Amino acid sequence: MTILHIDASINGENSASRAISRSIVDQLTIDRRDSGLVYRDLAAEPLPHLTLEAFADTSVLEEFLAADAVVIGAPMYNFTLPTQLKAWIDRILVAGQTFRYTANGPEGLAGGKRVIVALARGGFYEQGSPASALEHLETYLRGIFNFIGIEPEFVAADGLNISLEQRRESIDLALGETVRLAA
């Protein structure tokens, strides 16, 4: 199994999404010594904004297509994903490769892959909460992966900027949740 592990947080070792995505990868590889791992740190080595010329370089797309499982650390910045992660998505949503338009509408072509996202959010956004309309991270990622034929799984740590106690509790809960992913 080849795992593609992506991080995007600018917070280095203090990052919750990095800790959770690492734990997910640990769980996926725990009994699989044959796993191949490709790591891409989009904060340390950002992809440039998309240009027409950048379309010619298909290396990021090929890396994605070659993976059996993709683990993504996704912090919420300004109610959505970091621009570093958006630049990566701009390279994997490619007509004719990961989706196509048909007479019956768009069709995803990237199915058969497991995508697991570690979300880290400063606030709470559950349905019905005052800030729920501002949630454009999980909803966006679910939308784009559905679009290319994948049902992503999410492990979320929420309320991380409410208090230190809440932060610890939410991260512990999320790390605990990663254990079930090995099954």
Ligand X SMILES: Cc1cc2nc3c(=O)[nH]c(=O)nc-3n(C[C@H](O)[C@H](O)[C@H](O)COP(=O)(O)O)c2cc1C
* 75 interacts with ligand X by CB under 6 A: yes
* 9 interacts with ligand X by CB under 6 A: yes
* 91 interacts with ligand X by CB under 6 A: no
Residue nearest to ligand X (CB): 122
Residues 141-160: x/- map of binding to ligand X (CB under 6 A)?
-------------------x
Q: State the minimum distance, in angstroms, from the CB of residue 138 to ligand X.
A: 11
Given the rule CB under 6 A, which of 90-98, 104-112, 121-129, 174-182 is the region that contacts ligand X?
121-129
* 11 interacts with ligand X by CB under 6 A: yes
Q: State the minimum distance, in angstroms, from the CB of residue 164 to ligand X.
A: 12
Given the rule CB under 6 A, which of 16-24, 32-40, 94-102, 139-147 is the region that contacts ligand X?
16-24
Q: Which of 122, 144, 19 is nearest to 77 (CA)?
A: 122
Q: Which of 100, 28, 94 is nearest to 67 (CA)?
A: 28
Given the rule CB under 6 A, which of 34-42, 74-82, 100-108, 141-149 is the region that contacts ligand X?
74-82
Q: Could you tell me which residues are beta bridge partners of residue 41?
A: 7
Which residues here bind ligand X, judged by CB under 6 A?
9, 11, 15-18, 75-79, 120-123, 160-161
